[in-house]
Chain A
Amino acid sequence: MADPIILRCRLNGTPKTELIAPNRSLLDFLREDLGYTGSKHGCDVGDCGACTVRIDGAPTLSCITLAASVEGKSLQTIEGVAGSEPTLVQQCFHEHVAAQCGYCTPGIVLVLEALFEEQADPSEEAIAEVLGSNICRCTGYTKILSAAIDARERRNGRPAKPPTPTFARDL
């Protein structure tokens, strides 16, 4: 076994100093070593986006990132997104029922939060493009897209675009 190395970083605003193996993936470090299970373990090889975290603000796939490579950086996981209240993106996901099994949701919320920090009023194409980073097997993306568009409208002071009634809701 290679010698362990010391990792110093900030996780959701809190400084962390941990001993890690050089070959530890960031996802396994977060989930197995620190118990932050909000980042999901999907494909494990960079295809699906379930493991997305933000490193210095940029959405990154933690399954194909070495924990050692976040030395000195700031990490944000889904656990660090909401304050005492859910964010607008989270609120819209809730109202639009944009999570079904929920496995893809943490990653998708993080890429949308990052997009809205970068572009106040992104086009529908720009939203769809970042959603291409994350695979959702349940929703068919319709509700995710409508939640994201609603969040965009509301954060820009425009009227809400409430969810369109669905069969399930009408029952």
Chain B
Amino acid sequence: MLPLPDFDLHRPQTLPEALRLRAALPKARILAGGTDLIPSMKQGLFTPQDVLHIAGLAELKGITVNADGIRVGALTSLTEMRRDARLATLVPGLVAACKSVATPTLQNMATLGGNLLLDTRCRFYNQSQFWREALGGANAKPATGCLKCDSAGICHIAPKGKGCYAAHSADTVPTLILLGAQAELASVRGTRRLAVEALYGEDGREAAPDRSPRLLIAGDEVLVAVHIPTPTGPTVHRKVRARAAIDYPMLLVAASAEGVVLSSLGPRPQRVTGIQDSMLDADIDAVAQAAFSQAFPLATHVWASTWRKKMVRVEVRRALAELATLNGDPR
């Protein structure tokens, strides 16, 4: 049995109450569906004194669609998104991304907000305390694992480096980036919107001395909703994983006329750059080659990073061919 740390549980019932608690307890962890946070707490990665369980906040629930686009509350479960007839018509590519997360049972629990803010992952990090202690960390005493767990530790992927390269693994995010989605963030100081693309920093850790942290949101902010402008064309979501269920991605590729986004290669999703044309006119092999040359996967996954890099070319080709078919162009 993996025990959970001892914490006080706070269960705000309104957003203002939640924001006040968030501001008063800066070290508290926010619990939504818990499918990321609870396994991590069981593995001893986080030992918060306070947990803010936000499941009771009505303001964060539900899907609304109007002339400007779609608003999905942060607490909306991926199952609710899969079952929504309006999303199926407007953003089938996003629904496909929800469907590829974990398993149907986990999708019942998993929230969209939790998916956006999912911790970065690495084979040396997402392990039990016992496993990580056995691995040790050159400098950490007691040895608790790598740099992401302990600033005195070392990175086992790049031992001479100063950063953490743990992989962004959220299935819905590459598609949301292509759709131009924005995150609505609230705190006691007010509300603001930030492009989903601008949520993520350079390093895999929550705080990094010389690089931007994995999330570029303030410590007192709560994610309230995701706003998606009315889409103008289809998106394609492709995922490489070992099994067709359960597994986190080892590579994600999303494509639309606007561009191609790669993820699970490092701490944040990346756009393939240097392509002038719309993806509907661009030469598929040229985009695939550009993506390949811009991808630098590290050994954060059990599968060889050289193979993951090769799969970038393969999956970008497949994504663009699928996109062409959706647009009625049988290339």
> With contacts A58-B108, A69-B53, A111-B104 known, is A64 near B8, CB below 8 A?
no
Binding site for B on A (CB under 8 A): 1-3, 5, 21-25, 28, 41, 44-47, 49, 52, 58-61, 64-66, 68-69, 111, 129-130, 132-135
The one of B3, B7, B43, B106 in contact with A133, judged by C-beta atoms closer than 8 angstroms, is B106
Docked-complex contact A60 and B105, CB < 8 angstroms: yes
Contact yes or no, A64 B103, CB < 8 A: no
- Least distance between B172 CB and chain A CB atoms (Å): 18
In the complex, identify which listed stretch (B31-39, B142-150, B186-194, B291-299) lies at the interface while the others stay far away.
Answer: B31-39
A45 touches B42 (CB 8 A): yes
Q: Is the CB of A23 within 8 A of B6?
A: yes
- The digit string for B1-14, where 1 denotes a CB below 8 A from any CB of A, is 11111111101000
Least CB distance from B253 to A in Å reads 22
B39 touches A5 (CB 8 A): no
Contacts A28-B1, A66-B38, A69-B55: A132 and B246 contacting too (C-beta < 8 A)?
Answer: yes
Count class of interface residues, chain B: 20 to 34
B53 contact from A2, A45, A66, A135, Cβ within 8 A: A66
Does B115 belong to the interface (CB within 8 Å)? Answer: no
The listed residue (A22, A46, A111) touching B39 by CB distance below 8 A is A46
Residue numbers in A under 8 Å from B4 (CB-CB): 23-25
Judge whether B34 and A66 touch: CB under 8 Å.
yes
Tell me whether B38 and A46 are in contact (CB under 8 A). yes
B245 within 8 A of A: yes
Q: In the bound complex, do residue B104 and residue A2 qualify as a contact, i.e. CB atoms below 8 Å apart?
A: no
Q: Hey, which chain B residues are within 8 Å of A134, CB to CB? A: 105
Cβ-defined contact, A61 with B6, below 8 A: no
Residue-wise, chain B 242-286 has the 8 Å CB interface mask toward A (1 for contact) of 001110000000000000000000000000000000000000000
Complex CA gap A22/B79 in Å reads: 27
Pairwise interchain contact A68-B53, C-beta atoms closer than 8 A: yes
Q: How far in angstroms is the closest Cβ of chain A from B270?
A: 28
A132 contacts B38, CB within 8 Å? no
Task: Give bound CA distance, A134 to B245, whole Å.
Answer: 9
Tell me the number of A-to-B contacts counted with CB atoms below 8 Å.
89
Main secondary structure of the interface of A (DSSP, over half): loop
Among B39, B103, B105, max chain A CB count under 10 A is at B105
Q: 19 interchain pairs (CB within 8 A)?
A: A2-B6, A2-B8, A21-B6, A45-B2, A45-B42, A46-B38, A46-B106, A52-B105, A59-B104, A59-B108, A60-B108, A61-B35, A61-B105, A64-B42, A65-B38, A66-B9, A111-B105, A132-B244, A133-B246
CB pair A2 B1 closer than 8 Å: no
Residues of B contacting A58 in the complex (Cβ-Cβ under 8 angstroms): 79, 108
Within 8 A of A (CB), among B8-38: 8-9, 11, 31, 34-35, 38
Is B104 touching A22 in the complex (CB atoms < 8 A)?
A: no
Tell me which of A1, A21, A24, A69 has the highest count of chain B C-beta atoms within 10 A of its own C-beta. Answer: A69
Within 8 Å CB of A21, what residues of B? 6
8 new A-B contacts, CB < 8 A, other than A46-B38, A65-B38, are: A22-B9, A25-B38, A44-B42, A45-B2, A66-B53, A68-B11, A130-B105, A132-B246
Q: Is the CB of B105 within 8 A of A45?
A: no
Q: How far is the CB of B291 from chain A (nearest CB, A)?
A: 29
Chain A residue with minimal CB distance to B110? A46
| Binary CB contact string for chain B from 141 to 169 against chain A (1 if under 8 A, 0 otherwise) | 00000000000000000000000000000
- Most B Cβ at <10 Å: residue of A23, A25, A68, A135: A23
Q: Which chain B residue shows the least CB distance to A28?
A: B1
User: B240 on the interface (CB 8 Å rule)?
Assistant: no
Closest residue of chain B to A21 (Cβ to Cβ) is B6
Q: What residues of chain B lie closer than 8 Å to A24, measured between beta carbons? A: 4
Chain B min CB distance to A21 (Å): 8
* CB closest chain-B residue, reference A58: B108
Which residues of chain A are within 8 angstroms of B208 by Cβ–Cβ distance? Answer: none
Which residue of chain B lies nearest to A71 when distances are taken between CB atoms in the complex? B11
0 or 1 for each of B303-317: is its CB under 8 Å from A? (1 = yes):
000000000000000
Is B105 touching A47 in the complex (CB atoms < 8 A)? no
CB distance from B4 to the nearest CB of A (A): 4
Closest residue on chain A to residue B77 by CB atoms: A58
